[in-house]
Chains A and B, each alone.
Chain A
Amino acid sequence: MLIKTVGGYWDPIVWIVAFIVIAIIAYIIRAFGKREYKGGEQTKPFLSGVEEPSKEKVHVRASNIYWGFIEALKGYYDYMKRMHSGVVNDYVAWFVGVAAIMFVVMFAAVII
């Protein structure tokens, strides 16, 4: 079960035992909570008094997830989309270009 890494070791069984122990402790702490708190108005989301929309209307679609992250990296993504043009000529150009750079770097490194 145990594997040695450069800095120490990894034992999944120890991890699982620790996970179970922590889960039990968390469950015990949770059990101390007031039972009557569950259910009722207080557990519903509060949207400034506005009624909660149906689940169908509020389900976030894939292209909207991480919108902020993608918007923050707009410049990077614009470049990457241009790079991934879908044109096979571009694919070949990248391949040959990388090979050419490898030639230059390799021979330069050996000469130096």
Chain B
Amino acid sequence: MNVMEHLPALIIAIPLLAAFLTPLVDKISKKVRNAVVFIALAATFILTIFLVQDVFENGIMIYVMGASNPTQTIPMQAAVPIRIVLEIDGLSAFMALISVLIALIGLIYSFSHVEERGGKFYTLFLLMLVGMLGMELTGDLFNLFVFLEIASIASAALITYEFKRGSTTEAALKYIVISSIAALFVLFAIGLLYGEYDLLNMAAIAKAIKITGLSNIDMIALILFFAAFAMKAGAAPMHMWMPDAYGEAPGAVSMVLIAVTQASLYALLRVCFTIYADSLHVVIPAAIIIFGLISIFIGVTMALIQDDIKRLIAYAAVAEVGYILLAIGVGLYGVLNNEVELYARKALQGGIFHIFNDILDIGLLFLVAGGIIYITKERNLNKLGGLAHSMKYTSILFLIGLAAVAGLPPMNGFASKIMIYESVYKVSPILSIVAILASIIMLAIFVKIFHSVFTGPKISEQKDVPKLMLASMIILAALIIFFGLFPDIIINNIVNPAVNALIENAAYISNVMG
């Protein structure tokens, strides 16, 4: 068997098998369980690197599930794709890489404190990753729905895992209710498109829409997709579930939940840029820009008044999603108006780069917050203080995360934000002004946390976080600094292929449809 040929299937299958193996191995030994989970995730990460390398070198990769020839998308007796097709272009590869990377870091963090009922935790953790990866690699709409559900159910269960408080259970319940309604929207939209075209494959539907033009049914499906994925991505004013879910979940889960949110953002990109593409009305990019602005504004202003450390970071995460939406909206607007080279390409580069930076920066802050709660058993900023006396490394790592999220040079957050500021300025200077002002408020917000938690007189004697927690935070901080100093490496090698995949959607269609 040629492993390289089956990479897309293996990347989903390995964590899926490990997920169901974990509770069994857990009965034998905790150490063996941890080893199995780590090996499975490390193997998935290595295979994902091979996949990404292959896609960036040789172009789109196709894998047809269950077919004797995994590249034969259309069976001999059929005219359209029937089987589930995994289709990996630059964007899918980019998303898969950051999802697995962040899950691996989250896993290392979790090893330090997840012992009790760990079998269940790691099963759900791996299933959450499977859901994300499935969403990002599939080329089939119904398959996307299935993986969306897997990710949502696993996430909801993980939110309640660590803290046994009423508000934690409530947050998970809210998450599953709102996710289920979004999933129903998606299912209904898929049903509409299937009823119209007898197709589930994204490339085939994109081709059909291109040929027949945008019908009323297509428009209804588009709005259902748009609302559902925008809500799942955390776009304001549909973001209210995010502070609840992120705020109550364990630190590592909050970080990986960002990647789950970004997977929904990926689905939104896929719908807009690949399935509907040129048929889109300019209202859609305008709506994405408006959602972006509202998210930025509500995110930063609501973060300012929070006293719960994790809820505060969660609102900052809403604002960060706003920056991504703003850039993507401007990019889509430019693509539809044939102004790709003028500003759209740079806006999309900034937006896609910011997806990566958002996960790293907010992820690091969530890990630090998780560490603080783990050590002090306290999450109220009014009751914390002086921790820099005893948690020196953690406070330095928080400072790095703070600088990155606020977009201070030379951090990675600055590199992506300056690309966003300058490109959105071409559409309207007001967009840039709002984005820059919000960034200043963001700095003020994190100064508030740093002042409240780390400075001031020592309240009680505390030790620093466990070594594995610290190690995972250091990995994130190192990535933040590295990609801040060398942003060209990630832009040239990972971001640009993803942006090209968005702009040149014809290749995605022709690889399946011929």
Chain B 155-180 per-residue mask, 1 if CB under 8 angstroms from chain A, else 0: 00000000000000000011001100
A sample of 8 more A-B contacts (CB under 8 A), given A6-B426, A54-B457, A65-B448, is A6-B425, A8-B422, A62-B451, A63-B307, A88-B178, A98-B227, A98-B237, A99-B227
Chain B residues contacting A12 (CB-CB under 8 Å) are: 409-410, 415, 484-487
Least CB distance, A71 to chain B, in whole angstroms? 11
Q: What residue in chain B is nearest A70 (Cβ atoms)?
A: B305
CA distance in complex: A39, B461 (Å): 29
CA distance in complex: A94, B231 (Å): 10
Chain A residues contacting B305 (CB-CB under 8 Å) are: 70, 77
Chain A residues contacting B418 (CB-CB under 8 Å) are: 5, 10
Given contacts A5-B419, A62-B452, A80-B298, contact A102 B227 (CB under 8 A): yes
CA distance in complex: A105, B328 (Å): 20
Q: Which of A15-32 contact B (CB under 8 A)?
A: 15-16
Is B240 in contact with A63, judged by CB distance below 8 angstroms?
no
Q: Which of A83, A96, A110 contacts B281 (CB 8 A)?
A: A110
Does A3 make an interface contact (CB < 8 A)?
Answer: yes
B residues near A (Cβ < 8 Å) are 173-174, 177-178, 181-182, 185, 219-220, 222-224, 226-227, 230-231, 237-238, 240-241, 243-244, 281-284, 287, 298, 301-302, 304-305, 307, 343, 346, 381-382, 384-385, 409-410, 414-415, 418-419, 422-423, 425-426, 444, 448-449, 451-452, 455-457, 484-488, 491
Chain B residues contacting A16 (CB-CB under 8 Å) are: 410, 485
Interface residues on A, range: 35 or more
Given contacts A62-B307, A91-B174, A91-B178, contact A7 B238 (CB under 8 A): no
Least CB distance, B475 to chain A, in whole angstroms? 20
Instruction: Pull 14 A–B residue pairs with CB atoms less than 8 Å apart, ordered by A.
Output: A1-B485, A6-B346, A55-B456, A59-B457, A65-B448, A70-B305, A77-B305, A84-B302, A91-B178, A91-B240, A95-B231, A102-B223, A106-B223, A109-B282
* Chain A interface, >50% SS class: helix
Is B452 in contact with A61, judged by CB distance below 8 angstroms?
yes
Is A10 in contact with B174, judged by CB distance below 8 angstroms?
no
Is B237 in contact with A83, judged by CB distance below 8 angstroms?
yes
Chain A residues contacting B230 (CB-CB under 8 Å) are: 98
Chain A residues contacting B422 (CB-CB under 8 Å) are: 5-8
CA distance in complex: A105, B284 (Å): 10
CA distance in complex: A1, B307 (Å): 39
Does A69 make an interface contact (CB < 8 A)?
Answer: yes
Chain A residues contacting B410 (CB-CB under 8 Å) are: 12, 15-16
CA distance in complex: A83, B238 (Å): 11
Does A50 make an interface contact (CB < 8 A)?
Answer: no
Is A105 in contact with B456, judged by CB distance below 8 angstroms?
no
Chain B residues contacting A86 (CB-CB under 8 Å) are: 240, 244
Q: Which of A5, A73, A94, A103 contacts B301 (CB 8 A)?
A: A73
Is A109 in contact with B281, judged by CB distance below 8 angstroms?
yes
CA distance in complex: A74, B282 (Å): 36
Chain B residues contacting A70 (CB-CB under 8 Å) are: 304-305
Chain A residues contacting B448 (CB-CB under 8 Å) are: 62, 65-66
Does A92 make an interface contact (CB < 8 A)?
Answer: yes
Q: What residue in chain B is nearest A2 (Cβ atoms)?
A: B488
Q: Which of A10, A88, A109 contacts B283 (CB 8 A)?
A: A109
Does A47 make an interface contact (CB < 8 A)?
Answer: no
Least CB distance, A51 to chain B, in whole angstroms? 17
Is B182 in contact with A102, judged by CB distance below 8 angstroms?
no
CA distance in complex: A2, B109 (Å): 33
CA distance in complex: A97, B302 (Å): 21
Does A46 make an interface contact (CB < 8 A)?
Answer: no
Q: What residue in chain A is nearest B453 (Cβ atoms)?
A: A62
Chain B residues contacting A59 (CB-CB under 8 Å) are: 385, 455-457
CA distance in complex: A16, B410 (Å): 7
Chain A residues contacting B426 (CB-CB under 8 Å) are: 6
